[in-house]
Amino acid sequence: MATGEPLSGVEFIPLVEFVKTKIQSVQDYSVLAAASTANLFRHPIYFADMVQQADLIGFGSLPVVLASVFFTGVALALNSTTTLGRFGATTVIGQLVSLGIVRELGPVLAGLVVAGRNSSGIASELGSMIVTEQIDAMRALGTDPMKKLVTPRVAATIFMLFFLTILGDAVGLLGGGLVASMVVRVNAHEYWSNAWQTLVFSDVFTGLIKPLVFGFIIATIGCYYGLTTKGGTQGVGRSTTQAVVAAMILIIVVDVFVTRFLMVILGSS
């Protein structure tokens, strides 16, 4: 290769063009997210597709979500035992596990697990439909792909993640309870009593609002990257990876702002 010849297959994008591309992507994503919400109130509503997606997204993710939150509750209780034992406060382990799981770890873990499993699945499925021109055929037949493909996935993900989080919270508390009774020798009734009494409305409300936001992010991100797939089968794989990374990062970032916003609104700050 001659000196000064550009590397084969490597394309350098000017900074201005890169920024413009990212701004355009944010704009396109915002339009898709808004349209997916608005379509919930427009006919036709593909209820059968919503049920099908709820089965794939919700029940398919159930074992992974429950396992991840359960062992997180176990680990949280185990790690707390040493610190609390120094102060002779092992009896409050139920309060610590309860607040940690219900307010923060339960929703975030459920969101991350569902993002890893379903955001990639949505992106690959829609990306494959783009590559094989099934979306174009759908438009030619007079069917709106946004209503048929995006809105059912968004509604199903939000709905199912809400209940997955509730089940995950219960299993996470159960994991902490097993450690408390078997390792720390805390009375089971005392553990569950402390875990229940320490929760206030703001804790439960915060823990149940987050999965609604996370579900919306997971589904819309997956749909966006799937519908913007380019480059054949390689593009499908690229879109799948980008969807998972973007969804997970957004969940972690948005969690901080949602937590702070609800603390201010509910007067917990």
- The tens digit of pLDDT for each residue in 189-216 reads 888 888 888 888 888 999 999 999 999 9
pLDDT of the residue at 170: 92
pLDDT value at residue 114: 92
* The pLDDT of residue 109 is above 90: yes
CB count within 10 Å of CB 15 equals 8
Model's pTM, two decimal places?
0.86
What residue segments make up the domains of the chain, in order of their start?
43-265
Contact 178, 74 (CB under 8 A): yes
Look at residue 22 in the predicted model and tell me its pLDDT: 81
Q: Which of the 8 DSSP states describes residue 155?
A: H
Residue 87: per-residue pLDDT? 65
Q: Is the predicted pLDDT of residue 261 greater than 80, yes or no?
A: yes
Q: How many beta carbons lie within 10 A of that of residue 27, not counting itself?
A: 10
* pLDDT above 80 for 56: yes
Chain mean position to CA 75: 22
Comparing 50-54, 84-88, 177-181, the range with the smallest average pLDDT is 84-88
Amino acid making up residue 189? H
What's the CA gap between 199 and 18, in Å, rounded? 47
- Counting residues of the chain whose pLDDT is more than 90, the rounded percentage is 31
Mean pLDDT of 29-40: 88
Instruction: Report yes or no: 255 and 262 within 8 Å, Cβ to Cβ.
Output: no
Residue among 43, 32, 237, 14 nearest 123 (CA) = 237
Residue 137 has pLDDT above 50, yes or no: yes
